[in-house]
Amino acid sequence: MENYTVDVIAGDGIGQEVVPAALGCLDAVARRDGFSFDWRHRDWGADRYRLDGEMMPRDGLDQIADGDGIFLGAVGDPEIPDHVSLWGLLIPIRRAFLQYVNLRPVRLLPGVNSPLRDAAGLDVVVVRENIEGEYSEMGGRAYQGEPEEVATQLALFSRAGITRVARYAATLASSRSGSLVSATKSNGIIHSMPFWDQVIAEVLVDYPDVRLESVLIDALAARTVLRPLSLDVIVASNLFGDVLSDLVAAVGGSIGVAPSANLNPEREHPSMFEPVHGSAPDIAGKGVANPVGQIWAGALMLEHIGQPTSARTLMSALEGVLADGIRTPDLGGTSGTNEVAAAIVDRLQSQASETLVMRKPSTSVSGSGSNEGGKPSFGALGHERGTPERFAKSRSKETKR
Model confidence pLDDT, tens digit, residues 269-290: 999 999 999 999 999 999 999 9
State the pLDDT at residue 182. Answer: 98
Where in the sequence is the domain holding 202, given as residue range(s)?
A: 130-138+152-251
Where a domain ends, among 209, 228, 251? 251
Same domain membership, residue 35 and residue 76: yes
Calculate mean pLDDT across residues 157-167.
98
Residue 269, domain member (yes or no): yes
How far is Cα 148 from Cα 142, in angstroms, rounded to an integer?
8
Same domain membership, residue 262 and residue 114: yes
Q: How confident is the model at residue 355 (pLDDT cuts 50, 70, 90)?
A: very low
Calculate mean pLDDT across residues 247-261.
94
Indicate which CATH number applies to the domain containing 185.
Answer: 3.40.50
Other CB atoms within 10 Å distance of the CB of residue 63: 14
Where a domain ends, among 251, 282, 309? 251
Residue 391, domain member (yes or no): yes
pLDDT at residue 353 is higher than 60 = no
How far is Cα 346 from Cα 317, in angstroms, rounded to an integer?
9
State the pLDDT at residue 85. Answer: 86
Same domain membership, residue 103 and residue 10: yes
Indicate which CATH number applies to the domain containing 116.
Answer: 3.40.718.10
Residue 265, domain member (yes or no): yes
Residue 144, domain member (yes or no): no
- Do 228 and 251 touch, CB atoms closer than 8 A? yes
pLDDT at residue 399 is higher than 80 = no
| pLDDT-above-90 percentage for the chain | 81
- Tell me which of 99 and 354 has the higher pLDDT: 99
Residue 85, domain member (yes or no): yes
State the pLDDT at residue 380. Answer: 59
Calculate mean pLDDT across residues 395-400.
37
Same domain membership, residue 274 and residue 241: no
Calculate mean pLDDT across residues 301-328.
96
Q: How confident is the model at residue 372 (pLDDT cuts 50, 70, 90)?
A: very low
State the pLDDT at residue 381. Answer: 62
pTM of the model: 0.87
pLDDT at residue 383 is higher than 90 = no
Q: How confident is the model at residue 256 (pLDDT cuts 50, 70, 90)?
A: confident
Where a domain ends, among 234, 251, 268? 251
**Nearest by Cα to 47 from 39, 56, 34, 38:** 56
Same domain membership, residue 392 and residue 350: yes
State the pLDDT at residue 82. Answer: 86
State the pLDDT at residue 137. Answer: 85
pLDDT in tens, 105-151: 999 999 899 999 888 899 999 999 999 999 888 999 999 999 999 99
How far is Cα 363 from Cα 158, in angstroms, rounded to an integer?
42
The bridge status of strand 123-129 relative to strand 101-107 is antiparallel
Residue 381, domain member (yes or no): yes
Same domain membership, residue 164 and residue 83: no
The bridge status of strand 179-184 relative to strand 150-153 is unpaired
- Do 165 and 127 touch, CB atoms closer than 8 A? yes
pLDDT at residue 34 is higher than 80 = yes
Residue 359, domain member (yes or no): yes
Residue 147, domain member (yes or no): no
State the pLDDT at residue 86. Answer: 86
Calculate mean pLDDT across residues 346-362.
59
The total number of structural domains that make up the chain: 2
Same domain membership, residue 300 and residue 232: no
pLDDT in tens, 36-76: 999 999 999 999 999 999 999 999 999 999 999 999 999 99
